[in-house]
Amino acid sequence: MAYPKTEQETVLVYEAESNAWNAYSTVPKHIRKLQAITQVTVVETDDYGPKAVRALLTEKQVRMVAERKLTDEQRQAMAKRMRERRVNIDSTVENTNED
């Protein structure tokens, strides 16, 4: 069983000399992401899989970006574009089914 929420952590340490990031995680979501992008060393396991892992990440695999803050107008415009795309996709699927 995974660590309790109060004990789950992910730690990233940058080493300037090697230009790489060392990662350690006990957060299941982060463990899955690390397994998807790089080779991990399993530190601890249980019946369900890895409980704690270590990994080495390149500088390009770690990004720090500002949180995107949308205005109500931007949110509405995005929703409108998505609705239009869905309609276009649905009509394309209907046309290919008719052939």
How many domains, the chain?
Answer: 2
Query: How far is the C-alpha of 53 from the C-alpha of 22, rounded, in Å?
Result: 11
Q: Are residues 25 and 73 in the same domain?
A: no
Q: Are residues 81 and 54 in the same domain?
A: no
Instruction: Give the per-residue pLDDT at 88.
Output: 82
Beta-carbon contacts of residue 27 (< 8 Å; ≥ 6 apart) = 8, 9, 10
Q: Are residues 57 and 71 in the same domain?
A: no
Residues spanned by the domain of 45: 5-61
Instruction: Give the per-residue pLDDT at 95.
Output: 66
Beta-carbon contacts of residue 81 (< 8 Å; ≥ 6 apart) = none
Q: Are residues 25 and 57 in the same domain?
A: yes
Instruction: Give the per-residue pLDDT at 26.
Output: 98
Instruction: Give the per-residue pLDDT at 90.
Output: 72
Q: Are residues 17 and 52 in the same domain?
A: yes
Q: Are residues 29 and 69 in the same domain?
A: no
For residue 15, what are its two tokens? 């080493």
Q: Are residues 83 and 57 in the same domain?
A: no
Could you list the pLDDT tens digit for every one of the 99 residues in the chain? 789 999 999 999 999 999 999 999 999 999 999 999 999 999 999 999 999 999 999 999 999 999 999 999 999 999 999 999 988 877 776 666 665
| CB of 59 closer than 8 Å to CB of 20 | yes
